[in-house]
Structure 1
C-alpha cells in the first residue's frame, strides 16, 4: 500500500526481468519488421537493404512499429543507468503491457494482422507475454481503469453490487 516518494534502485531480479522483457521485445520487433518487409515488397517489389533501412525509419508503411521501437530504446536507456531506478522500470513494463494487451488502434490492427501472417510472430507473442508476467508492474488499480484488463472490471463490480 505504500508508494515510494523517492526513487529506489532496481534490484538484481528486476533488472534480470527487464533484460528478459527487452530480449523478447527485440526478437518480436525483428519478426514484425521481417513480416512487414515481405508485405511491402509484395506490393512494391524488392527493396535493397540500404533502402529498406531508410524506408523503415521514414515510410508511413512502417510507422505502426514506432511505439515498439521507442519502447526498446527506452528499455536500453533504463538498463544503461547506474543504477536503474525501480519505479522507471515498472513504468516501462506497464507501457509494454499496455502496448501488447490494450493496444492503440493502429498498432493493434497491424499487430493482429502480423500474428495471422507470421507463425514466428505468434511464438514471439508468447515470449513477450511470458516476459511481461515476470516483469514487475503496477497493480491494475494503480495504473488506472483504462489500463486494466476489461474482464476484471465487470467481475469486481458484479461481486460488489450483486450477491447472486
Structure 2
C-alpha cells in the first residue's frame, strides 16, 4: 500500500470518528436547547412539533450549520467517486473552525459557548472532539 493510500485511509478514519463525535454532540446540543426552550415557551408536545421547531424556529437556527455540515461529511464518506485527501482535510479543518466556542463570536460560537458552560456533558463532548481534531494527519 502506498503512503498516499495510507494517508487517505488514515484521514478517512479520522473523518468518520469526527463525524460520529459531531453527531453525538449535535444530538446533545438539540436536547440541551430543547430544555432551555421549554423553560421559556412551555413543554414541546411531540417529536413532530420538536422537529418543526428545529427546522423552522429561530431559537434552533444556530444548530442548522452543524446539521448541514454532518450532511457534507456523509456525502464525502459515502461518495461513489474517488475522494481525495484534500477533500477530507478541508472537512476536518471546517469542523475545527465551526465548533469554536466564543463568548464574543458569531451566533453559533456564542450559543455553543453557553451550551458548554451550562452542560458538563457537552463540555466533555467538545473536549473529545477537540482531541480528535488535534490528531490530524
Length-normalised TM-score, structure 2: 0.86
Question: Structure 2 stretches of 5 or more lacking a match?
Answer: none
Counterpart-to-counterpart distance in 2, 1:50 and 1:70: 20
Length-normalised TM-score, structure 1: 0.73
1:134 shift after superposition: 2.1
1:111 shift after superposition: 0.5
Q: Of the candidates 22, 25, 30, which is equivalent to residue 27 of structure 2?
A: 30
Task: Give 1:105's aligned residue.
Answer: 106
User: What are the superposed Cα offsets for residues 26-45 of structure 1, whole Å, 9 maximum, x if unpaired?
Assistant: 11101100000000111111
User: What are the superposed Cα offsets for residues 34-70 of structure 1, whole Å, 9 maximum, x if unpaired?
Assistant: 0000001111111121100111011110000112111
RMSD of Structure 2 on Structure 1 (CA): 1.8
Counterpart-to-counterpart distance in 2, 1:87 and 1:102: 26
Secondary structure of the corresponding residue to residue 33 of structure 1: helix
2:82 is the alignment partner of 1:81: no
Task: Give 1:44's aligned residue.
Answer: 41
4+ long deviations beyond 6 Å: none
Q: Map 1:47-58; keep pairs closer than 5 Å.
A: 47=44, 48-58=46-56
Structure whose alpha-carbon radius of gyration is higher: 1
User: What are the superposed Cα offsets for residues 122-161 of structure 1, whole Å, 9 maximum, x if unpaired?
Assistant: 011011101111234xxxxxxxxxxxxxxxxxxxxxxxxx
Counterpart-to-counterpart distance in 2, 1:100 and 1:45: 29
User: What are the superposed Cα offsets for residues 80-129 of structure 1, whole Å, 9 maximum, x if unpaired?
Assistant: 11332211111111111111237651011101110111111001101110
Question: Structure 1 stretches of 5 or more lacking a match?
Answer: 1-7, 137-164
User: Does the 8 Å contact 1:21/1:135 carry over to 2?
Assistant: no
2:121 is the alignment partner of 1:120: yes
User: Does the 8 Å contact 1:31/1:121 carry over to 2?
Assistant: yes
Structure 1 or 2: larger helix share? 2
Secondary structure of the corresponding residue to residue 128 of structure 1: helix
1:77 shift after superposition: 0.5
